Structure 1
């Protein structure tokens, strides 16, 4: 005989789980005791939402489900944002929540929320465990569903009486590799011919290409075809901008906006776009319409047909092998493959304008440029959500794949610090930087204590404007009065030190780079605060780009 919680933990070990992130409650106590006697580390966070963000980022970085834990009701509800973050972002994750006993109701309805129903819209499936004998099969199914394309979160509810029940020691279900199908030769031949016939082809790399195993395939495909490429925001950093040992300078930019930006000069001139891994959960990188380019969708699954995205042909199946087989058909047969490449230098020159501006407070372009100087090629930057995310998406170069983590699906504030913490746990030998606005940072700032307790080496860059900057910018663009967007901040240096971290404030433009470098050299958890001048949001992203449209630089396809 075996206790239900012991069997559950053994099933998790069987899946290769080494850490669980979360905040336990009394309904989890049997489960926590089983963890104590297992090989799995319990990482206690200061809020359940952060635990979910960390588990989701583990899934994104490794391709294996991260696991998070909460109690029932109020704790479980705090996981909901993280579940949606993983669901829209296609990150494999398992959420485990507690519940009151289901065989009796001695506490009536106290704290009880129907979390199975609550989690259904935010997960791939949501299920309550009602018997110990079903635990091995349910856990195996949860990991299979979470991992298979399209990856995402799965919710399991473990009631306290089921966790504490004794039952037969049923065998575990061994995991096995699930092979993905590949496209048919006919589909590959048809698409290859369409690419060969194109006069100005362009590759777009999107969110679904961010699976950890795909970087080498993408780099090889681009090197063999020599077709220039751009990325969506979540495709940023999926493949190196200039991979070592391969032909360089094929990257023409990132579509941080849906239209009118400098990269759209290449997009609007393309007569064919090979869209690799685009997921329409993202803000559109370009808007399809009458007279636009032919679009070929290369994806694990068929494209969702949307008003702004309706591909003309598809290559469906395992993206990596499909790209290799497509490259076999295209290598050396694309006389027009690099036709749009001459646009690259002028696009990037205009995008990078302002990178050496020395005004203070710093403008976003200078912040991005100095961060790039400090970060080594394998350094990881994890972005929260705010106006700076657009500037990093446009301006930050990624010499190696998967070194810039951003969310353009749920695009929730508060995820930057937990995401960076997970990157630091997974890659303890690499420099990791969390980039947060002052608004987003304060939403989960309590996790500084967790980072210090875990002994992480992590720098947190707080970009301070004392406002919800992106919404304030949009408010101004829409010509509404400036109202309801500003706030005060604590002394961030004293705040960091109260958790046992270190802190620095940037006082001049010239010292920013050295302050950031010193924070990394010091080690441990270090907060760096830099004031920002967001006037560039309007000058560049509205006035300057709009003037190009009026001058005929980029077609205006609507807002």
Structure 2
């Protein structure tokens, strides 16, 4: 074939693999690749999204991976550009989001010299990725991308890094580029093992499903919902399993578990004589929390082998395609499954108490600016329909949202619950808006975490993204603060100064709104959701009840 640059071969491979967006920041070592993207007339060329920080570009790529199941792509230059990828890539890898990261490197004959921006790319990012390689020949670029794609999407999904020496990107290649290969298919466990699985459910007094991150892709969620219509057992979600339960099946929803062992779901898991984990990853909520002092059995159903520990030793492990396995399992139930009436009565009482916990306390007659977290969650719930995407940052607000905000579609409510990474919400929202431009996107952050990536508000304005960004304001890194107070009786190193988020928004060309004594939350949210483009809503929040988040223990009604 005709000679072409390594950059051109790499771009053509991306197009063959259907890459829609490339996020990044340019630099001399990768500028030819940026030139190729910007100057290409091919209608398949990915849209280049220039970010304001490499870490945020990696977050954006991670969100594409989570929302589509296909790798998001991020491209950065050498030196600090590559080093700044680390947080975004470890978040993607730990939380199962496929990403391909391309990082510039000095030319090959400078690799062992102390030259400008020469750092060991491959070694630095190897611990935070599924695979980290450095390409030594332009002819290998297309193959490297194809293999990175396959590695990124294979279970457990995660990030792959490719280091690109400048002379490799700029060099000539004569090999044809790779075509998009089919995904590696997984099978279904043996029929007799599935029958043993079904028999265990029939024999159990209180089977409970713990739905994890890998249960929340669309095919698995669909198969799980079909299974639950025939085998209606209670379901507990992890934070990343949010949305697997539909409106139709809400009577089976018993909340989410994560962080502190004091939720309704924790009670059910403790008392269950058969916990069925589906797509569960221990990084979401360690088994030493929910499996503590349990006597019941565990069946592990997943696309990857489980990590075994003293706290997690399943009685049965079934590995294979989750959706296909659940479909086969459903077919083994010839009749509608039902639990004992006494068990259903106890579950109904717990469910009623759980639903009641979502209600905010009665507002004081005194007119106050601060809003109770449950009032914020309730008001937001009224403004969000099932088709909308809600991204949540890390902080005290994230605990309130994870426990009380209802979501009925998979991967429409996004949390970072593996790394608990500050700053993800706005970059994730930007990606969601690119993928779903006709939907309003909601981003929720605290006044601490928002400024970890707040500079991307300019990116959102530039893209005319319809994002409603809530900022819960209290002046502290409060998720740390209330836990310090609980442990030590006082706090340290958690306070910071005020920011006028309305002026901040306006300085970027966005809209800024504030909840105060003269502007109530509902009317401000009405205005925000009727406004085109990015909107920041500043909400003073009353965190005086946060100490209850890690203290309250629900009544164990199965004792």
Smaller-chain TM-score bracket: over 0.9
* Aligned equivalent of 2:24, options 6, 22, 25: 22
The CA deviation string for residues 433-479 of structure 1, in whole angstroms up to 9 with x for no partner, is: 10001000001100000000011111100001110000001100102
| Counterparts of 1:83 and 1:224, CA distance in 2 | 40
Residue 134 of structure 2 is aligned to residue 131 of structure 1? no
What is the root-mean-square deviation in Å for CA atoms of aligned residues? Answer: 2.1
3-state DSSP of counterpart to 2:488? coil
2:21 touches 2:47 (CA, 8 Å); kept in 1?
A: yes
Superposition deviation, residue 350 in structure 1:
4.1
Which residue is 2:327 aligned to?
324
Which residue is 1:421 aligned to?
430
Which residue is 2:14 aligned to?
12
Which residue is 1:302 aligned to?
305
Residue 473 of structure 2 is aligned to residue 464 of structure 1? yes
Which residue is 1:85 aligned to?
91
The CA deviation string for residues 196-236 of structure 1, in whole angstroms up to 9 with x for no partner, is: 10011111111121224322112111112111211111111
3-state DSSP of counterpart to 1:446? helix
1:214 touches 1:320 (CA, 8 Å); kept in 2?
A: yes
| Counterparts of 1:535 and 1:335, CA distance in 2 | 43
Superposition deviation, residue 485 in structure 1:
0.5
Alignment of 1:50-129 (within 5 A): 50-104=56-110, 108-129=114-135
Which residue is 1:267 aligned to?
269
Which residue is 1:373 aligned to?
382
Residue 403 of structure 2 is aligned to residue 398 of structure 1? no
Alignment of 1:93-242 (within 5 A): 93-104=99-110, 108-237=114-243, 239-242=244-247
Structure 1 pair 329/255, CA: closer, same or farther in 2 (3 Å)? Answer: same
Q: Which runs of 5+ in 1 are unaligned?
A: none
Superposition deviation, residue 336 in structure 1:
1.6
Aligned length: 546
2:9 touches 2:173 (CA, 8 Å); kept in 1?
A: no
Please, what TM-score do these two structures have when normalized by structure 2?
A: 0.93
The CA deviation string for residues 286-307 of structure 1, in whole angstroms up to 9 with x for no partner, is: 4324542211111001211134
3-state DSSP of counterpart to 1:460? strand
| Counterparts of 1:250 and 1:106, CA distance in 2 | 60
Residue 386 of structure 2 is aligned to residue 352 of structure 1? no
Structure 1 pair 355/116, CA: closer, same or farther in 2 (3 Å)? Answer: farther
| Counterparts of 1:543 and 1:188, CA distance in 2 | 40
| Counterparts of 2:69 and 2:550, CA distance in 1 | 38
3-state DSSP of counterpart to 1:334? coil
| Counterparts of 1:83 and 1:222, CA distance in 2 | 35
Q: Which runs of 5+ in 2 are unaligned?
A: none
Structure 1 pair 290/440, CA: closer, same or farther in 2 (3 Å)? Answer: closer
Structure 1 pair 456/253, CA: closer, same or farther in 2 (3 Å)? Answer: same
Superposition deviation, residue 337 in structure 1:
7.3
Greater CA drift, 350-359 or 195-204: 350-359
Please, what TM-score do these two structures have when normalized by structure 1?
A: 0.93
3-state DSSP of counterpart to 2:458? helix
2:100 touches 2:161 (CA, 8 Å); kept in 1?
A: yes
2:262 touches 2:552 (CA, 8 Å); kept in 1?
A: no
2:82 touches 2:103 (CA, 8 Å); kept in 1?
A: yes
| Counterparts of 1:177 and 1:487, CA distance in 2 | 48
Alignment of 1:435-474 (within 5 A): 435-474=444-483
The CA deviation string for residues 343-396 of structure 1, in whole angstroms up to 9 with x for no partner, is: 443332342142654664111111111110111221111000011111111111
Structure 1 pair 129/342, CA: closer, same or farther in 2 (3 Å)? Answer: same
3-state DSSP of counterpart to 1:95? strand
Greater CA drift, 151-160 or 28-37: 28-37
* Aligned equivalent of 1:476, options 482, 485, 494: 485
| Counterparts of 1:435 and 1:84, CA distance in 2 | 22
Superposition deviation, residue 259 in structure 1:
2.1
Which residue is 2:34 aligned to?
32
Superposition deviation, residue 273 in structure 1:
1.3
1:505 touches 1:529 (CA, 8 Å); kept in 2?
A: yes
1:268 touches 1:554 (CA, 8 Å); kept in 2?
A: no
